[in-house]
Structure 1
């Protein structure tokens, strides 16, 4: 569920979001101290796992809020920080599901607690179980934190209720998408392209694009038509972004993406690429390699060749461009003010650049 930086320029409100998160973790550690050093240390690990990210979701909140006339950056920063905490919760739990112990090149929550256990002499299987157990608890705390931060915006009751509804819809969609992703990986029947697109919308687009943009707009007091158009924009650009991310996960350059091009193939990850390729008679020549845990570069090259020759790569690129163009259409709506259109246009351009 990681997003790479889309716009390499400073953004308004970044320092306010960082300050809001710092205050939240400081208060949480103080509260945790009542339950002992062990619990306090867990909060240190959670905070470490929020650093190093791109703050993409908070950026979407602040872009919508400030471009729609919002002026209370402190209140907006609390809301933006809520989406960073939601992101933290989801990736911590996602790592447990995937049995990953490293993220961004460093030990994640599971890995940190696994390493503490192995250092204490606990055998590896038990140490890994302890690590994942701690991560489940950490993810739960981060999720709770997202709701608490929404409540700290100081918004009127009716506005705060709507913000919580949007956040809750995002949590529900992400859970549904995660479950679908897990089921797809275990099912002998390959999912369709439409199944994959809907899973990616639920798992990533809603909480990364739709909900943050709509939340910022609601807090700014925007009209319902504007909020609806932002949701449609977020849905389409979120799907486009995820399809491109899946393409780069197989065909990208690791020095640019920061992601190995072997991981998704070794995992047997179901994407638009593979869903389209499954229907090709060429797929049978590499089917036994897909999902092979020790897949090497030569074997990966064979799979990539089939993805190209079957037309799956070209299909995925065209589909991503189609969703990005749909996003343009919603961004061009009269309900979206020019200031917000200017703020979000680079996001669409960047997605289109990545797919070329």
Structure 2
């Protein structure tokens, strides 16, 4: 999604980055006087939040302008856009704890940095893990609070502030429900229903990454309730397609596309929507046997990929992606949204489709 972010943000990227950096700097500076580990945590948060695709703030800004909003006359635009990036950063930090990950994009995350911090103090492995997870949890909490603070202090009307806070509230609530369901599905040998896995897949990403940022842009542009409802539907369907494509990439994408080893989801035995569909097929015994060996190396990963293809699960998942994209594109029919917004959203759907491995 990086090319899309660059295309639609253009010169606005610097303004988005400035709003995010200003907020992170404010938190880090407030943490400095405490000294010790807390001051170091502020520095780690600054490093972790630097860069990135800025995809969610891109959606806020791009749809705002496509709906006729004037950025130069809307000082709340970039702080509100930044709030969705901080929300994303908070969720990543908490997600890393749930997954016991100590790296992201090949470098130590906050938890990884503080594990190393504890080890330098001479702490044993259990103590290092405890400090690492505590640091990741607290960093995520601080960013989650700051995301809400940005909207609470944004220079908007009371009505717009209430609507924006409601969007953030829904995004947090739905995402939490999805994360908990995802963890529950990963436990034990009992197979969750495919519909339940698809619901969790939607809830983890679609609202906070797509529907809420798009609707926030509409609120700031004063685009009206009908346009906001259309964007909510579009974002929900596109967000599901995006996450399902991520499942395909995690199983079948190249290392360059996935940002990690090819077939990483298969190696790690993740119970994704793809696996749920395979479980419901007659070929599940063959797939299960192939997946059991996937952690052993590239040849075993290839066997698992072949078994998943033969089971029909890959084709089914691709069909679900196509249906979700068609539902999203259907929202663009008619004249509820202006031409510039329809063009933007059509390009976004095309970009999601282009990610299919």
Q: TM-score range by the shorter chain?
A: over 0.9
Measured after TM superposition, the shift of residue 302 of structure 1 is 1.8
Greater CA deviation, 73-82 or 318-327? 73-82
Unaligned runs of 5+ in 2: none
Alignment partners' CA distance in 2, 1:317 and 1:173:
25
Measured after TM superposition, the shift of residue 60 of structure 1 is 0.6
1:46-74 superposed Cα distances (whole Å, 9 cap, x missing partner): 12111231000000111121112222353
Q: Which residue of 2 aligns with 1:52?
A: 51
Alignment partners' CA distance in 2, 1:217 and 1:6:
19
CA contact (8 A) 1:321 1:355 kept: no
Unaligned runs of 5+ in 1: none
Measured after TM superposition, the shift of residue 333 of structure 1 is 3.6
Task: For 1:210-249, list aligned pairs within 5 A.
Answer: 210-249=211-250
Q: Secondary structure of the residue that 1:328 maps to in structure 2? A: helix
The yes-or-no answer on 1:11 pairing with 2:9 is yes
Measured after TM superposition, the shift of residue 338 of structure 1 is 0.7
The yes-or-no answer on 1:270 pairing with 2:266 is no
Alignment partners' CA distance in 2, 1:302 and 1:91:
31
Greater CA deviation, 90-99 or 266-275? 266-275
Q: Secondary structure of the residue that 2:355 maps to in structure 1? A: helix
Task: For 1:177-256, list aligned pairs within 5 A.
Answer: 177-256=178-257
CA contact (8 A) 1:177 1:203 kept: yes
Q: 1:91 to 1:120 in 2, by over 3 A?
A: same
Q: 1:58 to 1:163 in 2, by over 3 A?
A: same
Q: Which residue of 2 aligns with 1:316?
A: 317
Alignment partners' CA distance in 2, 1:25 and 1:211:
22
Q: Which residue of 1 aligns with 2:35?
A: 36
Structure 1 length-normalised TM: 0.94
Number of positions where the alignment pairs a residue of Structure 1 with one of Structure 2:
354
Q: Which residue of 2 aligns with 1:21?
A: 20
Q: 1:73 to 1:115 in 2, by over 3 A?
A: farther
Greater CA deviation, 20-29 or 313-322? 20-29
The yes-or-no answer on 1:160 pairing with 2:158 is no
Q: Which residue of 2 aligns with 1:297?
A: 298
Q: Which residue of 2 aligns with 1:124?
A: 125
Structure 2 length-normalised TM: 0.94
CA contact (8 A) 1:78 1:150 kept: yes
Alignment partners' CA distance in 1, 2:126 and 2:161:
44
Alignment partners' CA distance in 2, 1:242 and 1:15:
28
Q: Which residue of 2 aligns with 1:325?
A: 326
Q: Secondary structure of the residue that 1:188 maps to in structure 2? A: coil
Alignment partners' CA distance in 1, 2:294 and 2:76:
47
CA contact (8 A) 2:27 2:42 kept: yes
Alignment partners' CA distance in 1, 2:115 and 2:334:
50
Measured after TM superposition, the shift of residue 7 of structure 1 is 5.0
CA contact (8 A) 1:185 1:268 kept: no
Alignment partners' CA distance in 2, 1:291 and 1:99:
21
Q: Secondary structure of the residue that 1:70 maps to in structure 2? A: coil
Alignment partners' CA distance in 1, 2:356 and 2:308:
15
